[in-house]
Structure 1
């Protein structure tokens, strides 16, 4: 009898815990946010019964100008939400074009994420929610019913930097089960990013899975390193533990990364089945990563047949003394004379680096150096960089 009583108590306790967990999970009020409507407008909702003001901010809204350390830049706009009798605030956008969008709420001046949307991305130290309006190019950013590659994190020894460092590596569908050798594309992030940036914000795995499945891109290995030489890995993933990511860290863009980049190439070519020659190597990057791609490709002028500069920073600071930045024009000419298959430049019309890229193209024109150029709307934003990756990757290794 006593045993039955104990079992009954245990059952009731376990049932109570289960019911409590379910109640915590579903919350009490069923709020859907964001809700993508039939006309591709999107409704955002948040329960904040005691708030006096709630705004939604995101890159689906018209941009506004703000001052930053890099000068005047575009920032996501804001829209006022309205409150109903239950304390739920809501806002419905205009019909949106296909794209991956990010957003946050501003509740009485406090910026926060959407508690009913578990899908988040980190850009430097900012965390925002995301959603996708499908169709067009945005279908490349979705997980579709196609064969999928693998994404791994590997640690490599960098003798030049004196530490083990972390890489994110995409291998194409079928890599594990084949004996085939593959070309390699080194894809570099911007300032404030790390080896997680391209795979999370850039949707690299989804884009490549879909392009390969459509026959638009050749199967390739994509290597996404950490370009911050003082870090062994992204914040929270390395031996420094959890700390706030910074936009610019020490030794950023001082030549150290470029000078030691071949440590990465050697690791990949010693540990993966790759075609280890110039015709089967590509390098590209956004902003700071474009700066690195520019200088790495001319500093090692007979190493990469494919080079991509996405919204690239270009010339080093006046106080930069690393030998990597010696004789830029001479090494660029040597790169041109050695020959290459593709030199690709992309920039947004309102990017703060637009004029610098225009001047650089004038330099290439004066040298007779051939390049492919793409100009898009918008500024220094991930929306453009996903487009550039989607356009650049199908041109590789043809």
Structure 2
């Protein structure tokens, strides 16, 4: 009888353990994020001891301010978007009692500058290009080069070679892709999805097979701060002081290195240059200053205020038109149209750089310079816009 009682007690104990375990959520039992049928998204976090949890979401008006999450009785904090989201890649993180953390239920993570995020992709015709799909893949090489212009040894660039490069003897056109301020050479690969975009567009026949070069556009960095600790400098003051120096290095250091070490079609008609924000400003300045180097030019929300001598003061987002005319491009005129096949300028209507962009575009028109003018309603200075721009731009070049 005693043995039977012990067995019954043990069974009752195990039943209670199992019941409690099933009644309380654990990390593995939580799905996050959940994409609902109407394209709203629910994000969940198990944090029973937390007093306050905010969600910092890339679809919000202010990514770093966040919105309050709701705590359920089982200790799970939850948030559902009030409106359906449009197709895109979205980054997010949590602020738990003031401490930033990622989603432990989502293995997908990325880095942009010093910030790490969880992310998800809401499917759609354009955003499907951001995924690693079942298509032939190119190769990304981690390359180090010297830059006499910047007086630096061992700067890093990433070089994408298209599918089939290793087994062929063919030479390819080259796209030089530049990042913005507070980003680095990994930005376009991680959050910009440039490698997946090229793989997918080439597989679909929408883009020509090409080599893509992404180097570090910060004059003071050897490589991303993830790998090489940068010096302690005032970034914005340095950008103003050393304006034009990286662009010179790009033409004199980077392009010759790439042409010497990869099978490239080494002429302007087979070279493109593009970038976002600071990189858009650098791309246009490089192409207009060295017109025999690049025939295809893309500026995505370009920060033309980073051009040498054009900004009235380091902390002012404005263009000095007299300086633009007499110091920056004193010899620029419509003759450039015979050398540049595509000058592609895009910006969103909510971008803080919209006014200086308007000034530059109007000045281009007065000079008779031809360009494709794209102004998109509702977009601010965001990665979601620049990924779309890259899809569109790469489908037009080298054609």
Classify the TM-score, shorter chain.
0.7 to 0.9
**SS of aligned partner of 2:91:** strand
List gaps (5 residues or longer) in structure 2. 1-24, 315-323
Which residue matches 1:150?
Answer: 139
Q: 1:122 to 1:28 in 2, by over 3 A?
A: closer
Which residue matches 2:149?
Answer: 160
Which residue matches 2:59?
Answer: 60
Equivalent in 52, 65, 69 of residue 81 of structure 1: 69
2:107 is aligned with 1:118: yes
2:30 is aligned with 1:31: yes
Cα distance, 1:251 vs. partner?
Answer: 4.8
Which residue matches 2:5?
Answer: none
**Could you tell me the TM-score, scaled by structure 1's length?**
0.83
Which residue matches 1:177?
Answer: 167
Q: 1:327 to 1:302 in 2, by over 3 A?
A: farther
Which residue matches 2:366?
Answer: 366
List gaps (5 residues or longer) in structure 1. 1-25, 65-74
Task: Please tell me whether the aligned partners of residues 298 and 335 of structure 1 are also in contact (alpha carbons under 8 angstroms).
Answer: no
2:287 is aligned with 1:297: yes
Which residue matches 2:351?
Answer: 351
Q: 1:38 to 1:299 in 2, by over 3 A?
A: same
CA distance in 2, matches of 1:29, 1:387: 34
Aligned residues: 358
Q: 1:313 to 1:167 in 2, by over 3 A?
A: same
2:257 is aligned with 1:267: yes
CA distance in 2, matches of 1:215, 1:341: 21
Q: 1:245 to 1:169 in 2, by over 3 A?
A: farther
CA distance in 2, matches of 1:161, 1:42: 46
**SS of aligned partner of 1:143:** coil
**SS of aligned partner of 2:209:** coil
Q: 1:48 to 1:337 in 2, by over 3 A?
A: closer
**SS of aligned partner of 1:395:** coil
Task: Please tell me whether the aligned partners of residues 146 and 213 of structure 1 are also in contact (alpha carbons under 8 angstroms).
Answer: yes
**Could you tell me the TM-score, scaled by structure 2's length?**
0.83
**SS of aligned partner of 2:201:** helix
2:116 is aligned with 1:127: yes
Cα distance, 1:110 vs. partner?
Answer: 2.8
Task: Please tell me whether the aligned partners of residues 97 and 133 of structure 1 are also in contact (alpha carbons under 8 angstroms).
Answer: yes
Cα distance, 1:152 vs. partner?
Answer: 1.4
Cα distance, 1:165 vs. partner?
Answer: 0.8
Q: Deviations over 1:293-346 (max 9, x none)?
A: 1211122121110111111111433479xxx99743334327615522100000
Task: Please tell me whether the aligned partners of residues 298 and 331 of structure 1 are also in contact (alpha carbons under 8 angstroms).
Answer: no
Cα distance, 1:109 vs. partner?
Answer: 3.0
2:141 is aligned with 1:140: no
Task: Please tell me whether the aligned partners of residues 122 and 128 of structure 1 are also in contact (alpha carbons under 8 angstroms).
Answer: yes
RMSD over aligned Cα atoms: 2.6
